[in-house]
Amino acid sequence: MLWKRASSEIERLPDARKALAERYTIDADEAQRREHLAADEAAREAAEAEAAREAAEAEAARRAAEKEAARQAAEEEAARRAAEAEAARQVAEAEAARQAAKAEAVRRAVEEKETARQAEAEAASRAAEEAAARRAADDAAARRAAEEQAARRAAEAEAARRAVEVEAARRAEAEESARRAAEAEAGRQTAPEPAEAEVVAAAVGHEADGEADRSGDGGSSELPIYRWFGSA
């Protein structure tokens, strides 16, 4: 060790430097020992990691082999089932062909009778179709006539309703004109006082233009003077 190699040199040093040299020598030796321990620990960890890696690779290889064996077994089972299905299909096809031949023989045996029956049924069907077409045409004509009648009645009812509305509007307008004329007549019969007449004249002069535009049939009841009489 470093301590044994340098011991002879330390003995020749003074006491103060001897103690310092001994301490540094011991520290260096401890550091070297620790380096060796760390190197040994790192080597051990590396060996353990390598062993773990090899074990993992071996496990992965084993699982892959098992998976491949299972895949091959599944493929063989699928091939066996496919072969069985093909054999069953061929047997079924042969049976179907036999049944088809038998059915064809039966069909040919009854074909002549069926041809005659179909001819009779076709004639009856055509007669029924012609009768149904005639009935449909009659029904359509009747429906169109009914629709036209209903439309005509609706038009007549609408015209009557509009005539009633026009008559009602005319009567309302006549009644309004009569009411306005009566109000105007009542206003003319009631003469205002001189002072009131001046106020009314001023109001009439101020609003005459605007009221003249709004006046029409019976519009005289809307003049300011009549509104004044009404408020009074």
Asked if residue 140 belongs to a domain, the reply is no
pLDDT over 60 at 105, yes or no:
yes
Give the per-residue pLDDT at 83: 94
Map 128-165 to HEC letters: HHHHHHHHHHHHHHHHHHHHHHHHHHHHHHHHHHHHHH
Asked if residue 132 belongs to a domain, the reply is no
Question: Could you give the number of structural domains in the chain?
Answer: 2
Asked if residue 97 belongs to a domain, the reply is no
Give the residue among 210, 209, 196 at the shortest CA–CA distance from 225. Answer: 196
Q: Using one digit for the tens of pLDDT, what is the confidence trace for 9-67?
A: 555 555 555 555 556 666 666 667 778 888 888 888 888 889 998 999 999 999 999 99
pLDDT over 60 at 210, yes or no:
no
Using the 3D structure, point to which of 50, 83, 116 is the last residue of a domain.
Answer: 83
Using the 3D structure, point to which of 59, 83, 107 is the last residue of a domain.
Answer: 83
Asked if residue 88 belongs to a domain, the reply is no
Q: What angle do CA 104, 105, 106 make, to 5 degrees?
A: 90
| Domain interval for residue 17 | 2-83
Whole-prediction pTM value?
0.27
CA 203 to chain CA mean position, Å: 69
Using the 3D structure, point to which of 54, 83, 112 is the last residue of a domain.
Answer: 83
Asked if residue 204 belongs to a domain, the reply is yes
Cβ count within 10 A of residue 221: 19
Asked if residue 103 belongs to a domain, the reply is no
Distances (CA, A) of 125 to 138, 205, 207: 20, 95, 90
Q: What is the rounded CA–CA span in Å between residue 89 and residue 81? A: 12
Q: What is the rounded CA–CA span in Å between residue 67 and residue 54? A: 20
